[in-house]
Each structure stands twice: as C-alpha cells, then as structure tokens.
Amino acid sequence: MNKCKVSIILLSIGLCISSKIFGQTKQPNFVIILGDDISARDIGIYGAKNKNTTPNIDKLANEGILFKNMFVSEAICAPTRAELFTGLTPNRNGCNVNHAPTKKGTLSIVQHLSKLGYRVGLTGKTHFSPSSVYPFEMIEGFTKNANYNGTPPENWDGIKEFINRDRNQPFCLIICSVHAHAPWNAGNSSFWDPNTVVLPKNLVDTKETREYFTEYLAEIKLFDEQVGNAQKLLEKSNLDSNTALIVLDENGVGMPAGKWTTYDVGVRSACIMKWTKPYNNKLVTHALTQYCDILPTLIDAAGGVVPSNLDGKSLLPIIKQNNTEHREYAYFLYNNTREGPEYKMRAITDGQFKLIWNKPSNNLYAIRVINGFDFGYVDKMEDRHVRKMYLSWLAKAGYDKDASNIIQRYRKHPEFELYNLNDDPEEMNNLVENPELNFKVNELKNALLKWIEDQEDDFL
C-alpha cells in the first residue's frame, strides 16, 4: 500500500474520531410537548383572533419550523395519540374509536427508539393501551387526569432527573398536558373580556359560549407556559443545543363541530419544531403532513431505517432540504360508536379543497357529552361545560335563525360536503352542489375510495 493511500485512510479515521469527539454525529434528543383539545386556529402564530395567548409558542415558531398543514387522522384523544406513537393510521393500528386499545404486537415509539439506544419517557396524560405496546418510562410530575377540576399542580423534578440522568445516552421525552381539555376552569382568564372576545363562526354567540371560550383561552395560555418552562429547563441543563423540540396541540377543541368531527377545527393541528444543527430552522412549510409522519422523522433523525410498513413518511426532506411536496392528500375518519349513535365520516383534502363523506347521512349526529339527551343519554356529570354551552344554543335557536342554522349544521350532515379551505377556513359554505366543482368532487371521492380500500376500512 503506497503512502498516499495510507494517508487517506488515516485522515478518514481521524475525521471520524474527531467528529464523534466534537459531537457532530451524536444522536439528537427529542422532546415532544403535546396539548389536549386545542384548535390550531386559537394559537397566535396560526392567526388567532384573540391575543396574549401563546407568546412562547409564537416565539418558538419564529425561531423554528412552522407546519401550516399538519393534520391528525381522527380528531379524538386515543386515536390521535396512537397515530402519533405508532406511525400508523387508526385503522392500521386498531385504535379507530375513542378509548379503543392499539393492536397487540404493534411497535410504538418506545420500541423503535429503544432499539436505537434511546430512553423513552412520558409524563402526564396517557389515554392509550395496552402497556405492552406503550412501555414508556412513566415520569411523575404532570397529572394524568384530563378532567381535572381547576389548575393541576406541576412538578418538574422528575423531568429534570430524566433528561439529566445520562449524558451519554440520548432520550425522548413526551410531556402530555391536560390543557385545554374540558372542564375549562384552569388558569387566569382576566386577559380577555368575555364581552369582546372574538368567537369563531361555527359557535353560537351566547353568554355561556363567551364565558367558556374565554376560560378555554386561559387553558391554552397554561399550555403555552408549559412550553416556555420546558425550553428554559433544556437551556438551563445545557441540552438545548442537541435537542429537537416539537410542540403539538393534539386534536381540536372539545366544542361542537370541533373534536369528534372531520372539520378543520378538529383535524388541523398546530405543529412547531425547533431542530439543532445541521437541520434547518426559520422555515414555514405548507406541505401536507400528518401525525403518522412524526415517528418516522424521529427514527430517521436518530440514524435508524424507517420501517416500510409505517403509514408515515419522514419529514426530514422538508426540514433539511426545504422540500415543498410531501403528500398529495391528507385523509381523515371519524367513527361515532362509543360517543353516541353510530355515525361514520371519512374525508380528504388536497390542501385547498376538502370532501367529507357522511354515512349514514340520515342519522342524527350526536355526541353523548354534548347532546346525548337527544337520544336518551343521561349524563352523570350534571354541570358539564360543553353541554351547558349547547343548551344555551338551543334556547337561542328558538328565536334566532343564525343560531338555528348552526345547530342544524351540527346535528344534520348531508351525505357529501365540499369546502374551499382557502376561502372558507371555518367550512360554513358547502359547495358540493356547485356544478363547476364536479371535477373536484370526483377527483377527491376516487382518491378517498382508494384510501378506504387500502386501509381495509369497513366504511362501505
């Protein structure tokens, strides 16, 4: 072997060793902060009409990557979390109704990252099963009770110990907040006046709606404070330079026509990421992305090979190369089998238009915690906030046409709905009867049918 070849080999070895010494090939840590029942439209950076709610999240978005078209597949808690943690859509992982278990034998974020040398811990709300699929290291400090009455206490000591335990081993930490899950009675709502707070168009304007929406904003602010505290802890622990921070707001608000639907209020999620070198930051992307894409992204960033059986695709081409294309369509479903009378919804969007397919369309759409009394359900929780809100709507509908129309939109759905999300983000104007858009209805319906078939969905 000549001296030139020897020199090249020695130089390569030296570069490899030095890169490891200086941490250039070190696996990144991951911290995911997950909200609870928050709609993206109520977060400042996503165009919230009510101010002073999310200064920490907004600052993070300006420093990091803002995903404008991130979606959950099913806007209820258990399916959202199962999709996030397995990289599989609800029909594929088995959790396609609320409170349902994930299929036994499914691999989750715990197994995938553990194979790559990670410790994987979680604090706060769980709402997933079985433990064999989700063997997280459980960290004390945040409440698991989404229905906590008042402001729950927080203790960051367990989180601090977890992230500082071993600097030679990468970690993945998931902080699961219970804000802004109902009841809406936590935090300081004095930042907003109920009389002047700006309500979305899909809510009936009543005294009760204004009061509860204001309290909901206060809970969003509590979630924002948790995001800020997590950032400060990472900085204080000198871990921020090698930790990717991901903020998600879960599915949408637990008010009528939000959670429990395929409307954007329910399925569109806030997603802000701040990565470390060599990844890009200060980026806004409109690429269509879904929760099942997040786990493959972590596996990819950790140096693993993304399994081919996952429904998700790594987001690193967006993050590293600013790719503008990721998915042609995003897909959604809702199965109302435990929350009320049987009702199924499937939906698809190309980013501009959304088609919703309701079946059976002649059934009364009802959610037990909101209008369960419509089908004889007696709620054990007499003072449930969202039901009080809905009852105030019914009272106003007796003399107000706009209120009556909003209630009819909530309770009765046509077989098909088509919305132009650019012009009508709150999906109040159904365009399905517009003959000029027949081509779009056919395109989206055919793509949706193919997805239903590929997912082995029993919708039809």
User: Using N-to-C axis directions, what is the helix angle for 207-236 and 385-397, rounded to 10°?
Assistant: 150
Query: The tokens of 117 are what?
Result: 């040398």
* Percentage above 90 pLDDT, the chain: 85
Looking at the predicted structure, is the pLDDT value of residue 286 above 80? yes
Give me the pLDDT at residue 22, please. Answer: 37
Give me the pLDDT at residue 11, please. Answer: 39
This prediction's pTM: 0.93
Summarize pLDDT for 406-460 with one digit per residue, the tens. 999 999 999 999 999 999 999 999 999 999 999 999 999 999 999 999 999 999 8
- CA separation for the pair 132, 129 (Å, rounded): 8
Query: The tokens of 157 are what?
Result: 């000591």
pLDDT band at 278 (very low <50, low <70, confident <90, very high): confident
With respect to CATH, is domain 27-327 assigned 3.40.720.10? yes
- Residue 101: asked if its preceding bond is cis (omega within 30°), the reply is no
- CA separation for the pair 381, 389 (Å, rounded): 14
Residue type, 210: R
Give me the pLDDT at residue 130, please. Answer: 98
Looking at the predicted structure, is the pLDDT value of residue 400 above 80? yes
- CA separation for the pair 57, 70 (Å, rounded): 16
Give me the pLDDT at residue 61, please. Answer: 97
- Residue 278: asked if its preceding bond is cis (omega within 30°), the reply is yes
Give me the pLDDT at residue 10, please. Answer: 39
Summarize pLDDT for 177-224 with one digit per residue, the tens. 999 999 999 999 999 999 999 999 999 999 999 999 999 999 999 999
- The sign of the dihedral angle between the CA atoms of 349, 352, 357, 358 is positive
Cβ contacts of 224 within 8 Å, gap of 6 or more: 53, 54, 55, 56, 57
Task: Delimit the domains of the chain by residue range.
Answer: 27-327, 332-454
b/e per residue 65-86 (b: at least 16 CB within 10 A): bbbbbbbbbbbbbbbbbbbbbb
Q: Write down the mean pLDDT value for the chain.
A: 93
> Length of the chain, please?
460
User: Using N-to-C axis directions, what is the helix angle for 207-236 and 157-164, rounded to 10°?
Assistant: 40
Summarize pLDDT for 212-263 with one digit per residue, the tens. 999 999 999 999 999 999 999 999 999 999 999 999 999 999 999 999 999 9
Query: The tokens of 283 are what?
Result: 């980026």
- CA separation for the pair 389, 406 (Å, rounded): 13
CB 30 within 8 A of CB 244: yes
Give me the pLDDT at residue 97, please. Answer: 93
SS3 content of the chain, % helix, strand, coil (to 5): 35, 15, 45
Cβ contacts of 141 within 8 Å, gap of 6 or more: 123, 124, 154, 155, 156, 157, 158, 159
- CA separation for the pair 430, 142 (Å, rounded): 42
- CA separation for the pair 425, 403 (Å, rounded): 19
Summarize pLDDT for 287-303 with one digit per residue, the tens. 999 999 999 999 999 99
Give me the pLDDT at residue 167, please. Answer: 94
- CA separation for the pair 431, 64 (Å, rounded): 36
Looking at the predicted structure, is the pLDDT value of residue 17 above 70? no
**Would residue 238 be called left, alpha or beta, if left means φ above 0 and alpha means ψ between -120 and 50 degrees?**
left
240 burial type by CB count under 10 A (0-12 exposed, 13-18 middle, 19+ buried)? middle
Give me the pLDDT at residue 64, please. Answer: 96
Looking at the predicted structure, is the pLDDT value of residue 12 above 90? no
